[in-house]
Amino acid sequence: MTGVILEARDLQVHYRTKRGAVRAVDDVSFELREGETLGIVGETGCGKSTLGKAILGLLPPGTEVHGSLTLRGRPLLGLREAEYRRLRGEELALIFQDPMTRLDPLMTIRDHFIETLRSHDRSIRREDASRRAVQVLQSMGVPASRIDYYPHEFSGGMRQRIMIAMALALNPKLLVADEPTTALDVIVEAQILDILLDLRKAYRMSLLLITHNLGVIAETCDRVGVMYAGQIAEIGPVEDVFRRPIHPYTQGLLASTIHMHTKDLHSIDGMPPSLLEPPPGCRFHPRCPYAADICQREVPPIVEYRTAQSAACHFGKDFL
């Protein structure tokens, strides 16, 4: 791993609604280095997917975005759509959660690839685009003989392989995978994760993996960022965070994980807060067993308590 490819500083993404602003991402900061895999994990509705869409510039019109987001030093916020379109594919790529909703049912897989490649280079011939499609599909384990099939003729796992192949068709430097294995069984999930890891090495790209599955994070990521209510609660190397979590929310997530030796089920009491009106101070304090008065009054800064391991907790030093 060398330089920083993606950097977010105090990133805010607020959706405007009739009831007010939904603070889906609020003051999020992190770095992703070249060749690194960073996992973003948290409960449903914590802002993970919004973060991924903000990086790709795929937010709906009217969304308020503030802070700083740079790709290899180039500011992304404020780019015109035409500029962003040039970046997507060649610099950035996204794998969606459900491939069936992203593939056009009236187009063959060949046509999907031709459209994708020619949208970035109008001079490319259909024959060359097809040849490139076959190469990438075969690297995903999809036979060349199926390039003229329609999306409904593939299984869920094969459709996800096709989506990954389309994302890699232009050799992007950064791949954002938004829960790429959620709809798959555990056998196919393991195959897809192995493919992602192999491709990261083969294509020398960085990977931002968004998931709610701690097992996926443990298997594939170098570092992990734990999100709660639109903010980063803890971030650091996977082994350090999993073995010695600092933030009480991270502790609760790990305690809730089921494994071979599980005898009792654990859960975090309460529900995540509304992002329309998040609680003052620490957003986790209504559910935190260690909450004190300061947690209700003051927003905890994110502090590096161990080397490369930081957490946003007023009492983080007590968990070292």
Quote the pLDDT of residue 2.
65
Q: Is residue 110 within 8 Å of 147, Cβ to Cβ?
A: yes
Quote the pLDDT of residue 4.
94
Quote the pLDDT of residue 288.
97
Question: Which residue, 181, 179, 182, 177, is CA-closest to 166?
Answer: 177
Q: Which residue has the tokens 């594919």?
A: 89
Question: Which residue, 114, 113, 115, 116, is CA-closest to 142?
Answer: 113
Distance separating alpha carbons of residues 75 and 1, to the nearest angstrom: 22
pLDDT in 10s for each residue of the chain, 320 residues: 569 999 999 999 999 999 999 999 999 999 999 999 999 999 989 999 999 999 999 999 889 999 999 999 999 998 988 888 888 888 999 887 777 778 899 999 999 999 989 888 888 899 999 999 999 899 888 999 999 999 999 988 888 889 888 888 888 899 999 988 776 778 888 888 888 888 777 778 899 999 988 988 998 999 999 999 999 999 999 999 999 999 999 999 999 887 777 778 888 999 999 999 999 999 999 999 999 999 999 999 999 999 999 999 999 999 98
Question: Which residue, 62, 63, 26, is CA-closest to 46?
Answer: 26
- Tell me the two tokens of residue 55: 């990086």
Quote the pLDDT of residue 198.
82
Distance separating alpha carbons of residues 239 and 273, to the nearest angstrom: 29
End-to-end alpha carbon distance in the chain? 28
DSSP assignment letter at 301? P
